[in-house]
Structures are given as structure tokens and as C-alpha cells.
Amino acid sequence: MVIKKKQKSLPHKKYKPKLAVFKFASCDGCQLSLLDCEDELLAVTGEIEIAHFLEASRRVLDGPYDLSLVEGSITTPHDAKRIRDVRKISRTLVTIGACATAGGIQALRNFKDVKEFVSLVYARPQYISTLATSTPIVEHVPVDFELRGCPINKSQLVETISAFLQGRKPQTPTSSVCMECKRRGTVCVMVAQQMACMGPVTQDGCGAICPAYNRGCYGCFGPKETTNTESLAKWFLEMGMKKEEVMRTFRGFNGYAPEFRQESERQEMG
């Protein structure tokens, strides 16, 4: 005989996907973007369970997590292991920001000798455990989606979470900053004022703010698709910049991104 268990009529509760935020070597700025979504924050938490977000909550729910946002680059042996653990407990892993997608500003060490850096900065180098390089997450584990920027753009973050919830691809352009700059109606600072601008080789997403504030883009969203850094660098030189300056221009917050790295190395060598 089958005994039918009397079912309690529980109010229908929909499953909320679990969100986790992890930090590696970084400035916290990208995860702060989530808290900076003042208008959307409560709506976000209505749709998604914040299960692990140490910047915002001491409540930690166990994994696996449906969506993990990973900020920061891998710079220590401990972190190189930790990211593999994070991957294991993450169904979807999205890296956020230049550190996580390109190694960040701290990847400038990759062009130098880190041992010298350690002794230069720390009075007691023996306490410092570090890798010789700062590398993007994707060099360590598979990544489902990369959200660029130093820092990431708030609306792009909301769009990414939104896309995750709808089960679609995030609408984040891979084209140049110039396109947004022109749509915004900013007069090109490079053509009209001869300022060095990384806009033509940098991925859009920031909203083309730098030229709108009368300065050249410094490439904080990293290389756009199909970059021609060589041509831009050549033009910089024709504008009167020194090789050294051109090298530094490419070696910034996304200096370790392959396209920018190659160009800065080309300028450094030749």
C-alpha cells in the first residue's frame, strides 16, 4: 500500500540562482561596481541569491554557485590553487575587470624582475610569497565570459547578470571606443587636438568617457577585436611621441593583454 504523504501547501518559492564574488589580486573596484548599482541592487537580490560576497556580507552559503564573478589576477601560488577550487564550485564563471581578464596593472611586473620588486618594496622580503607574473584567470581555468574594464562598467555588469538570468549572451560590444565616442558626439581629441588616444584600438564599454573629458583614452577596457596597434603606434610616432612614450601608452592597465603587450614590446625593442 502506498501511503500518500500529506503535502504541506508551501507558498511556491522560485529557485534563486546563487551568486558568488571572489577576489584575487585587485583593488576591489570591480566588485564594488555591484554595490554601486544602488538602483538595481535590491532588484538583483530579488532575482539572485548573494551566496558569497565578502565585501558586502559575512554570510557565506556553500557552493556550488550558479554564477561566480571573479575579480583580480593570479599572483601567488596560493591563489593559483584557489582559482581552481573556485572553478570547481562555479557553474558559470565570469571574470570581471582588467586584473582578471588581462593581469591588471600589477602585471607590469611581468616585464621586469619580480625579485627586485620584492626587495625594493618590502622591508622583510622573506614574508612575501609571490609569483613572477600576474596573469589573467583564463590562463589558469576555463572562463565562460570576460567582462572588461578597469574598472568594469556598472551597466555592463547589470547587463551580464541580466543576460545570465535570461539565458542569453550579454550584449557587450567588442568594437572600438571611437564608435561610442562618435555616437556621444565628442570631437575626436586625437584629430582635433593631437592628443594620443587609445580609443581606436580599445574595446568600447566605458561609454567613451576620457575624450568627453578632454583627454585621450588610456585603454582601460583592453584591446578591441581586430586591433591594429602597429598602425596606431606609427601614427603616435608621427605625431611626435617618443618610442618610450608609445611603449608606456600600450603598457598600462591592460598592458599584459596580448595585443597591447606585443606592441609595447615592439616599441621597447626597436
Partner 1 sequence: MIAINDRESFTILLKVLQEKGYTVIGPTVQGQAIVYDKIDSIQDLPVGCGDEHRPGGYSLRKRGDGALFGYVVGPASFKKFLFPPSQKLWQAKRTKDGFDVQKEKKERFKMAFLGVRPCEIQGIMVQVQVFLKGNYVDSHYQKRRKDNLIIAVNCSEPGGTCFCTSMHTGPSAKAGFDLCLTEIIEEKRHYFVAETGSPGGEVILKEVPHCEASASELKHRDQIMDKAENLMGRTMDTSGIKELLYRNRDHPQWEKIAQRCLSCANCTMVCPTCFCSHVTEGTDLTAQDVQRVRSWDSCFTSDFSYIHGRHVRHSTSARYRQWMTHKLASWIDQFGMSGCVGCGRCITWCPVGIDITEEVRNIRLGSVPNPNDSAKGVHDEND
Partner 2 sequence: MARSKTDPMTPAIFHVKRVIRETEDTFTIELIPSNGTTGFSFKPGQFTMLYVLGAGEVPISISGDPFEKRCLTHTIRSVGNVTRLLQKLKAGEGIGVRGPFGSAWPVKASQGRDVIIVAGGIGLAPLRPVLYTVLKNRKKYNRISLLYGTRTPEDILYHQELMKWRSQFDIDIHVTVDQAGKSWKGNVGVVTTLISRIAFDSTQAVALICGPEVMMRFTIQEFRQRGLNNEDMYVSMERNMKCGIGFCGHCQYGPYFICKDGPVFRYDLVEDLMKVEEI
Partner 3 sequence: MKSKTIKVNHLARVEGEGALDIKIQGKKLKDVKLRIYEPPRFFEAFLRGRDFREVPDITARICGICPIAYELGASYAMEDICGIKVEGQLRALRRLIYNGEWIESHVLHVYMLHAPDFLGYQDAILMAKDYPEVVKRGLRMKKIGNEVLALLGGREIHPVNLCIGGFYQVPAKQKLRTLLDNLKWGRDAALETVTWVAQFPYEDLNVDYEFVAMRHPDEYAVIEGRLVSNKGMDIPIRGI
Read off the DSSP letter of residue 11. P
Which of partner 3, partner 1, partner 2, none binds 40 (CB below 5-8 Å, type-dependent)?
A: partner 1
232 binds partner 1 (CB under 8 A): yes
Surface-to-core class of residue 238, CB atoms within 10 Å of its CB (0-12 exposed, 13-18 middle, 19+ buried): exposed
Read off the DSSP letter of residue 109. G
Q: How far is the CB of 266 from partner 2 (least distance, A)?
A: 27
Q: How far is the CB of 174 from partner 1 (least distance, A)?
A: 6
d(CA 31, CA 82): 18
Distances (CA, A) of 248 to 84, 238, 241, 266: 33, 16, 11, 12
Please report where in the chains the cell 606592441 appears, as a residue: 263
> Can you read off the three cell numbers belonging to residue 153?
562598467
Q: What part of residues 175-214 is at the interface with partner 3 (CB under 8 A)?
A: 206-207, 209-210, 212-214
Site string for partner 1, 114-153 (x = CB under 8 A): ----------------------------------------
d(CA 232, CA 237): 9
Give the torsion through C-alpha atoms of 111, 29, 175, 267, to 10 deg: -20
Which of partner 2, partner 1, partner 3, none binds 193 (CB below 5-8 Å, type-dependent)?
A: partner 1
User: Which residue, among 101, 161, 171, 92, has the nearest Cα to 136 in the 3D structure?
Assistant: 101
166 binds partner 2 (CB under 8 A): yes
User: Of the listed pieces 10-18, 121-129, 137-145, 163-171, which binds partner 3 according to CB under 8 A?
Assistant: 121-129
d(CA 219, CA 251): 9
Backbone φ and ψ for 58, nearest 5 degrees, come out as -90, 0
Binding footprint of partner 3 on the chain (CB under 8 A): 23-30, 32-33, 35-36, 38-39, 41-42, 45, 50, 53-60, 75-76, 78-79, 104-106, 108-109, 112, 114, 116-118, 120-122, 128, 130, 134, 150-151, 153-154, 206-207, 209-210, 212-215, 218, 220, 245, 248, 252-253
Residues making contact with partner 1 (CB under 8 A): 40, 43-44, 46-47, 158, 161-162, 165-166, 171, 173-176, 178-179, 182-188, 190-194, 197, 199-201, 214, 224-228, 230-232, 234-235
